[in-house]
A and B are shown apart, each in its own frame.
Chain A
Amino acid sequence: MITLNPKQESIKRAAKEFVAQTIIPKAAAYDKSGAFHSYLLEAAKPTNIFAMAVPKEYGGLGYDSMTQALVLEEWGYGCAAMGTTLSASILSMESVLIAGNEDQKRRYFAPMLRGEIGAFGLTEPGAGSDVGAGSTTAKKIGNEYVLNGAKCWITNATFASVHLVFAQTDPSQGSKGLSAFIVEKGTPGFSLGDVEHKLGLRSSNTAFYAMKDMRIPAANLLGREGDGMKIAMKTLDTARPAIGALAVGVAQRALDECVAYLHGRFPGKPYPGQSLQFQLADMRIQVHAARQVVQDIMLLRDARQPFSIESAMTKTFCTDTAMQISAQAVRLTGSYGYTSELGKFMRDSKIMQIYEGTNQIQRLVIARAVLAPAPAVPQALKAGE
């Protein structure tokens, strides 16, 4: 177990308290209504938590990665939808942290310092896993870029003050022609489309939007033209462990709720049979291991070590764990689980295996690393010896 410093301990405690008082009491009702509520942003404003990833020099809380993970796990424990509102906003600003200049950083982070949120616009109807297949274009005309196209499944899109939008500056180049732009709320030509009704994460906002002859200043280009793919990949590498942290929270919550029910169902009989005991033990092992995987990568990130493969492994392992444990919790609690909030954890987990890079794409990345270079095999095991 990784030891937390006193500051991290106190931030974790504060997050737990915030979640208990602000998130948990509202989560079920907001899940039911399926609509995003500005309640969360209002309630979080005094804590400045939406600026937790903004560096101190820009006025943010400047939490290190480990500390961000502690907060996100607590938010995932309370409500993965509300946690996703937070993590998706951080995702959008990671791109600016990675590739933005001073002016861009100040402009992009300003809303977050006011408790507002950002949105990361990469996915398109024809470009999901195949990021380079996007058809949104950005054409430079004078001192402006003119954007045309559509984005879908964008978390926070309806309520974001700032958007990170990816578009082709040179469509003939495919993924090498992709560029990243900052788009501010209210830009003419930007129109919001359908809000998705989703299986889970229902109280997080997910929407389509279209851009028609939308003009933005050339100064809103992140890095150079053609840097978009690199920026997107690096952003997702950096942000994915956050999904792992949320997933650990979901898994822990599902296990806790399952155990609480079993205690009530078998009063005075603390050990309800080995079959059940062993399943609960396995669930606990998985949650514990998932948490360690998150903390491990956060240590790497904070130590500025490479963590790309670990990022893919963390997201995959933790979200698969959340899915498995939440489904098991529903099954083991029978009709009670089926008619209680336990179903929400199962519905929420399903999406986490898909968004921010499906777990299949992560496995491709991991497999590439496993296979190259070929591992050194001990002499005695070589064929023919």
Chain B
Amino acid sequence: MTTEMNDKQRLMLESAKAFATERLDGVAAELDHSGIFPKSLVSAMAGDGMMGILLPEASGGSDLGFATYVAVIQALSGTCPAVASILNQHALTASIIAQWGNEDQKSRILPAMAKGDSLGSFAVSESGPAIGVGPDALIARRQGKKFLLKGSKAFVRNAGVADLYLVFATLAEPVGAKGLAAFIVQAGTAGMTVGPSLETMGLNGCPVAHITFDDAAVNEESVLHDLSAGAAIAEQLLYLAAVAEGAQTVGIAQAAATHAAGYAKHRVQFHHPVAHQEAIQTMLANMATDSHLAWLGVQRAAALIDAGEPFEVEAAMVKSFLARFGSRMMIDGCQVEGGLGISESAPKGIREALPLARLFRDIAGTTLLDAPADFPEKLIAASLS
């Protein structure tokens, strides 16, 4: 089902690969250490056209499709998964607005997003058991031609650095049975406060924070599609994110397998490189196999997305598979490198900076289940008939 890339797509992928090795590899450790949002790297990615891959040409994008997009994410994640997280958060927001927005919204918002002049983010999660249920649930109350947002969104990526947020809020007066709506909210909207950046285990540099709204007013024109579309939009967004995060996880695991294999070929114990040990070969082979099969799943889902066909079941399978095998690949990757696999700084005179400890922390962040009660297996099981 995977399609051949055309010249434009291939060029984009090549430039992303070059960006990953030339721009990201050397600074990834420092970014992890400082955790400071890498503004100049994001600008450089924009310069290479990466921010608009999923946007139509009419909106200033390159419309290269999801299959190319996930290949770009895979390439970036091989050296710096945090930057891939920033891109994911932006590009998926833009792509959703391109699909669901009206002409006015698209022409106002997307060209700047395609150029990277406007960074996007989406805010779905809440601290309660489900969206709209907990005491902090974000509620939208209509007041004339405006909506007042009150409550909070949890664990928003690109929080504080984004220019625009796609915010999902529960309507105080539901439209029919549908109670969720998506609002396009500009950063700096009065009444909206981005909390302090949370300390994360990995993916440092992609800020994460809670956002609170205290009767923040947004106008009618900021509603995406219509008031009854929020649930469908959120669902599509989360399945797209599952595929994109799958590409991130695969990129991390494949880079780790390559790195661990390189180490195993040089590390001599018992008079031979440890790569000669069958047990080490098995660990490396399992990492390669699991990441390869996951990649096939990601590509298959991406091809369905590009063909405009239902892709949700495949996306759920990617998520479910990587929830089970994602972290395990890094657990083994670090194991192969032993003491060096758990080093956060390169011991003097031994080897160049080692990324495995960082990737171990990063992969835990790309395989999270943020709605544990709404597990992906539910959809997969339901699809069997």
Q: A interface vs B, CB < 8 Å?
A: 123, 125-130, 133, 152-153, 193-194, 196-200, 208, 262, 265-267, 269, 272-273, 275-276, 323, 327, 330-339, 343, 346-347, 350-351, 353-355, 358-360, 363-364
**Are A199 and B343 in contact, CB atoms less than 8 angstroms apart?**
yes
Residue in chain B with minimal CB distance to A354 = B338
* Chain B residues closer than 8 Å to A262, beta-carbon distance: 372
Chain B 354-384: CB-based contact to A (< 8 A → 1; otherwise 0): 0001001100110111111101011000000
**Are A358 and B338 in contact, CB atoms less than 8 angstroms apart?**
yes
Distance between Cα atoms of A128 and B364 in the complex (Å): 28
* Chain B residues closer than 8 Å to A125, beta-carbon distance: 350
**Are A130 and B155 in contact, CB atoms less than 8 angstroms apart?**
no
Chain B 320-345: CB-based contact to A (< 8 A → 1; otherwise 0): 00010001100100110011011111
Query: Given known contacts A130-B269, A265-B129, A338-B200, is B345 in contact with A276 (CB within 8 Å)?
Result: no
Interface residues of B in 45-97 (CB under 8 A from A): none
A-B contacts, 23 of them at CB < 8 A, read A128-B269, A129-B269, A129-B270, A208-B347, A265-B129, A269-B129, A272-B129, A272-B372, A272-B373, A327-B328, A331-B327, A335-B155, A335-B208, A336-B155, A338-B201, A339-B208, A343-B200, A346-B364, A350-B334, A350-B360, A354-B335, A358-B338, A360-B335
* Chain A residues closer than 8 Å to B129, beta-carbon distance: 265-267, 269, 272
**Are A334 and B341 in contact, CB atoms less than 8 angstroms apart?**
no
* Chain B residues closer than 8 Å to A353, beta-carbon distance: 331, 335
Question: With contacts A129-B270, A323-B331 known, what are 10 further pairs, Cβ within 8 A?
Answer: A128-B338, A129-B269, A265-B128, A266-B373, A327-B327, A331-B327, A338-B365, A347-B361, A354-B339, A363-B279
Distance between Cα atoms of A125 and B338 in the complex (Å): 11
**Are B361 and A153 in contact, CB atoms less than 8 angstroms apart?**
no
Residue in chain B with minimal CB distance to A363 = B279
**Are A360 and B155 in contact, CB atoms less than 8 angstroms apart?**
no
**Are A133 and B269 in contact, CB atoms less than 8 angstroms apart?**
yes
* Chain A residues closer than 8 Å to B348, beta-carbon distance: 193-194
User: Of the candidates B128, B208, B344, B364, which one forms a contact with A343 in the assembled complex, judged by CB atoms under 8 Å apart?
Assistant: B364
**Are B343 and A358 in contact, CB atoms less than 8 angstroms apart?**
no
Within the complex, what minimum Cβ distance (angstroms) separates B14 from chain A? 32
**Residue B125 is within 8 A (CB to CB) of chain A in the complex:** yes
Within the complex, what minimum Cβ distance (angstroms) separates B307 from chain A? 31
Residue in chain A with minimal CB distance to B156 = A335
Distance between Cα atoms of A363 and B282 in the complex (Å): 14
Residue in chain B with minimal CB distance to A273 = B373
Q: B interface vs A, CB < 8 Å?
A: 125, 127-129, 154-155, 198-202, 208, 268-270, 274, 277, 279-280, 323, 327-328, 331, 334-335, 338-339, 341-345, 347-348, 350, 357, 360-361, 364-365, 367-373, 375, 377-378
Within the complex, what minimum Cβ distance (angstroms) separates B195 from chain A? 11
Within the complex, what minimum Cβ distance (angstroms) separates B337 from chain A? 9
* Chain B residues closer than 8 Å to A153, beta-carbon distance: 339
* Chain B residues closer than 8 Å to A337, beta-carbon distance: 368
Residue in chain B with minimal CB distance to A32 = B199
Distance between Cα atoms of A350 and B327 in the complex (Å): 11
* Chain A residues closer than 8 Å to B279, beta-carbon distance: 360, 363-364
Within the complex, what minimum Cβ distance (angstroms) separates A255 from chain B? 14
User: Of the candidates A128, A197, A359, which one forms a contact with B339 in the assembled complex, judged by CB atoms under 8 Å apart?
Assistant: A128
**Are B343 and A197 in contact, CB atoms less than 8 angstroms apart?**
yes
List of 4 A-B pairs having minimum Cβ-Cβ separation, nearest first: A343-B201, A335-B155, A334-B370, A130-B269
Distance between Cα atoms of A336 and B360 in the complex (Å): 18
* Chain A residues closer than 8 Å to B345, beta-carbon distance: 196-197
**Are A198 and B331 in contact, CB atoms less than 8 angstroms apart?**
no
**Are A339 and B199 in contact, CB atoms less than 8 angstroms apart?**
yes
Distance between Cα atoms of A382 and B269 in the complex (Å): 39
* Chain A residues closer than 8 Å to B202, beta-carbon distance: 338, 343
Residue in chain B with minimal CB distance to A34 = B344
Query: Given known contacts A129-B270, A130-B269, A275-B375, is B334 in contact with A199 (CB within 8 Å)?
Result: yes
* Chain B residues closer than 8 Å to A343, beta-carbon distance: 200-202, 361, 364
Distance between Cα atoms of A359 and B332 in the complex (Å): 11
Distance between Cα atoms of A335 and B375 in the complex (Å): 15
Within the complex, what minimum Cβ distance (angstroms) separates A364 from chain B? 8
Residue in chain B with minimal CB distance to A267 = B129
**Are B364 and A327 in contact, CB atoms less than 8 angstroms apart?**
yes
Query: Given known contacts A269-B129, A343-B201, A346-B201, is B371 in contact with A334 (CB within 8 Å)?
Result: yes
* Chain B residues closer than 8 Å to A265, beta-carbon distance: 127-129, 372
**Are B343 and A196 in contact, CB atoms less than 8 angstroms apart?**
yes
**Are A338 and B364 in contact, CB atoms less than 8 angstroms apart?**
yes
Within the complex, what minimum Cβ distance (angstroms) separates A358 from chain B? 6
Within the complex, what minimum Cβ distance (angstroms) separates A47 from chain B? 30
Within the complex, what minimum Cβ distance (angstroms) separates B161 from chain A? 17
**Are B347 and A331 in contact, CB atoms less than 8 angstroms apart?**
no
Distance between Cα atoms of A193 and B348 in the complex (Å): 10
Residue in chain B with minimal CB distance to A127 = B269
Residue in chain A with minimal CB distance to B364 = A330
Within the complex, what minimum Cβ distance (angstroms) separates A169 from chain B? 21
* Chain A residues closer than 8 Å to B125, beta-carbon distance: 334-335
Distance between Cα atoms of A267 and B208 in the complex (Å): 25
Residue in chain B with minimal CB distance to A272 = B373
Residue in chain B with minimal CB distance to A359 = B335
Within the complex, what minimum Cβ distance (angstroms) separates A251 from chain B? 14
Distance between Cα atoms of A338 and B364 in the complex (Å): 7
Within the complex, what minimum Cβ distance (angstroms) separates B311 from chain A? 22
Query: Given known contacts A199-B360, A273-B373, is B344 in contact with A339 (CB within 8 Å)?
Result: no
* Chain B residues closer than 8 Å to A332, beta-carbon distance: 369, 372
**Are A331 and B369 in contact, CB atoms less than 8 angstroms apart?**
yes
* Chain A residues closer than 8 Å to B128, beta-carbon distance: 265
**Are A350 and B331 in contact, CB atoms less than 8 angstroms apart?**
yes
**Are B343 and A334 in contact, CB atoms less than 8 angstroms apart?**
no
Residue in chain A with minimal CB distance to B341 = A354
**Are A330 and B368 in contact, CB atoms less than 8 angstroms apart?**
yes
Within the complex, what minimum Cβ distance (angstroms) separates B131 from chain A? 13
* Chain A residues closer than 8 Å to B155, beta-carbon distance: 334-336, 339
Query: Given known contacts A128-B338, A265-B129, A272-B373, is B368 in contact with A331 (CB within 8 Å)?
Result: yes
Residue in chain A with minimal CB distance to B270 = A130
Distance between Cα atoms of A196 and B371 in the complex (Å): 37
User: Of the candidates B357, B369, B373, B377, which one forms a contact with A199 in the assembled complex, judged by CB atoms under 8 Å apart?
Assistant: B357
User: Of the candidates B127, B344, B367, B378, which one forms a contact with A197 in the assembled complex, judged by CB atoms under 8 Å apart?
Assistant: B344
Residue in chain A with minimal CB distance to B157 = A335
Distance between Cα atoms of A338 and B375 in the complex (Å): 18
**Are B364 and A335 in contact, CB atoms less than 8 angstroms apart?**
no
